Amino acid sequence: MTSAAGPDEDDDRRNVSDATGVVVLGACAAWSLISAALHDGRPEGVLLAILAVSAGYAAGRISGALLPVAAPCAGALAGVSLTLAVPHLTPGPRIDVPLGHAGATAAVLTLSAGAACCAAWSASAPALRLGLRALAVGIAVIAAVLGSTTGFVACSAVVLCSLAAGHLRHRGVGIAGLALGATTVAGLTWTVASKAAPGGLSAWLEGQLTRHRIELWHEAAHLAGREPALGAGPGRFGELSTTASETLSSDGKPHSALLQQAAEQGVIGVLLLAAAFCWMLFALWRTARPTPVALTAGAALTALAAIAAVGNALSFTTVSVGAGLLAGLATARPITVVSSPRELDAHARGERPTS
C-alpha cells in the first residue's frame, strides 16, 4: 500500500505540522507541571486533556487514512449516540444552565456535525454525499430537539461553512478567517471578565449566561491579575474563588477555558492554549486533504473554541478526544492499494504513475 498523495513535499508538510504539535502539546504538559509545582496545584486535569487530544488525533490519523469516508461518518454517529445515551457525558454535579453539561453536549454535537460534513466531502458518490450532509443537518435538528440552542447554532454554522468552503479557492483565507473569529470571541470574553465591556453588553450577557457565570469570570480575571505570569496553579480556582466555594453544585471552574488558563497558569498558559489551537489550524492549512475538508474541520474546531471560551466544555474528556479525533481525520492522508509493479516503482522514485 502507498499514499494517494505521493510527492515528498506532502511528507515534509506533514512532518512539520506533526513536529509542531509534539512541541506545543509537550510544552503545555511541561508548563502545567511547572506551575503546579510552584503553587501546589493539581495538574492531573490538564495532563488528562492533553493525553485525550493526543490519543484522539492519533486515532483520527490512522482511521482517516484507512477509511476516509467511513471513519468520520462513524465518528459522527458515535458522537450523536453518546449524546443521546449519556446526556450528561460524565458523572458529578449536574450544571446545565448555561453551558455546563449542556455546553459539553453542544460541543460533541458540533464536532459530530463537522465529522459528517468531512465525510460528505470525502465521498465520491453523489447520493452518499447528499446522505452525509443530511446527517449533518439532522445533528443540528437533534441539538434543537434536546434544547441546546448553542449546539443548534454551532452545528448550523458548521454546515453552512462547509458548503461555503466548496467555493473557496484559497484555504489560507478561510483559515485566517477562522482564527480571527476565535480571537474575537476570546477578546470579548476577556473584556467582559475585566469589566471593560459597555454596560448594555454586560447586561445582555448576564441575561444569557447568568450573573453567577459573570461573577466567576470577574474572579478569574482578578486572580490572573494577582499572578499574571505563573497563575495560581492548575486546579486551584475552586478553592480560591469565593463565588465557586459558595455554590453547592459548583465544579470549581470559571466556565471559560481562556479565563481558567489565565487564572491558574498565567499568561504563559494562555499563550500555550492559543498555540494548541493555532497548531490545529496550521495542520489543517498544511494538510494534503482537499480544502473543503480542511476548512470544515477548522470551522467545527473554531465553533468548539467559541463554546469553550464561555463554558467548561474542555473539562470533559469526551470533548477533548473528539477535538483531536476530528483534527486527525481531517489531516490524515488516505492510502490506496498499488495495483501494479510499475506504480510501485514510480512511487519509489517520488513520481506519479502514468496511465
User: Given this model, what pLDDT does residue 238 score?
Assistant: 81
Residue with cell 512541541: 23
**Is 317's pLDDT higher than 60?**
yes
CB atoms within 10 A of CB 197: 18
Look at residue 27 and give its three-state secondary structure. Answer: helix
Asked if the model's pLDDT at residue 322 lies above 90, the reply is yes
pLDDT tens for 240-257 read 877 776 665 567 788 899
Which pLDDT does position 244 carry in this prediction? 72
Residues 6+ apart with CB under 8 A from 347: 2, 6, 338, 353
The predicted structure's pLDDT at residue 99: 41
Q: What residue ranges do the domains of the chain occupy?
A: 11-347
Per-residue pLDDT, averaged over 31-57, amounts to 93
Higher pLDDT, 148 or 181: 181
- Copy the grid coordinates of residue 178: 477562522
pLDDT value for 249: 58
Q: Are 277 and 300 in contact (CB under 8 A)?
A: no
How high is the pLDDT of residue 46?
93
Ranking 84-98, 175-189, 321-335 by mean pLDDT, the lowest is 84-98
Looking at mean pLDDT, say which of 14-18, 86-90, 266-270 comes out highest: 266-270
The pLDDT confidence band at residue 352, using thresholds 50, 70 and 90, is: very low
Residue 24 has pLDDT above 90, yes or no: yes
* CA dihedral of 101, 105, 110, 113, whole degrees rounded to 10: 170
**Residue 216, C-beta contacts closer than 8 angstroms, at least 6 positions apart:** 241, 243, 244, 253, 254, 255, 256, 259
Q: What is the predicted pLDDT for the residue at 90?
A: 43
DSSP 315: G
Partners of residue 335 on adjacent β-strands: 3
**Position 118, amino acid:** C
Look at residue 10 in the predicted model and tell me its pLDDT: 61
The string of pLDDT tens digits covering residues 100-139 is 456 889 999 999 999 999 999 999 999 999 999 999 999 9
Residues 6+ apart with CB under 8 A from 200: none
Angle at 222 between CA 204 and CA 201, to 5 degrees: 15
| Percent of the chain scoring above 90 in pLDDT | 61
Residue 81 has pLDDT above 60, yes or no: yes
Mean pLDDT of the chain: 86
Cell of 147: 434544547
